[in-house]
Amino acid sequence: MNKYLLCLCMLTLAACSANNEDLQEWMRNTSQQAKSKPIQTEQAQINTQPAYTPPAPPPLNIFDPARLRAGLQGDNAPDLNRPKQILENYPLNQLFYVGLIQAAGKAPSALISADEHIYTVNIGNYLGENFGRITSITPDEIVISELVEDSSGKWISRPASLPLQAADSSSAKTSSQTLKK
């Protein structure tokens, strides 16, 4: 049995040696091809970035402090140093002209309702949020001249008016309550 085992080992070794020769030959051929023919790579292309051009500035910067100072120094600019009157805290749509007081020989006074309070105003008083000034009081309406800033930063005068409200005060109260909602 030892003889058979010895023969079998010899045959196995003989078979292994043949496979190794093929492997050795393949390794020689591959190393020769690698040395003789190097792979040429392409040069990397550098992409040039376009020059950055910032967008054009807007024609009017409403928050520019220099523009604001210049705008408040114009001919029609409102006087910001004067104390504000109480009716300047309300927009015109929340103010209601409810009555007129006319004394003999005196300029008329108007009664204005705001937040369920009645205020007496005269010609020259200020009201509304846009620097509105009362220019005339008639039995039918109060004429107001407001100062607003136009798109170029100049102050312009804009006419406004408060018409006399209906005789029953409940309509003025309901309309002011509707605006609060």
Does residue 5 form part of some domain? no
pTM comes to 0.54
- For residue 129, being part of any structural domain is answered with yes
145 domain residue, yes or no:
yes
What per-residue confidence (pLDDT) applies to 149?
82
Does residue 177 register a pLDDT over 60? no
Q: 33 in a domain, yes or no?
A: no
Model pLDDT, residue 133:
95
Q: Is residue 35 part of a domain?
A: no
pLDDT digits (tens, 9 = 90+) for 39-55: 778 888 888 888 888 88
Is 113 inside a domain boundary? yes
Is residue 31 in a domain? no
Q: Give the tens place of pLDDT for each residue, 124-148.
A: 999 999 999 999 999 999 999 999 8
Provide the CATH number for the domain around residue 129.
2.30.30.830
Q: Considering the domain boundaries, does residue 56 fall inside one?
A: no
Q: How many separate domains does the chain show?
A: 1
User: Would you state the pLDDT for residue 168?
Assistant: 55
Nearest to 147 by CA among 127, 173, 174, 167: 127
Check if the beta carbon of residue 127 is closer than 8 Å to that of residue 112. yes
Helix count and strand count (H, E) for the chain:
3, 7
Domain that holds residue 148: 82-165
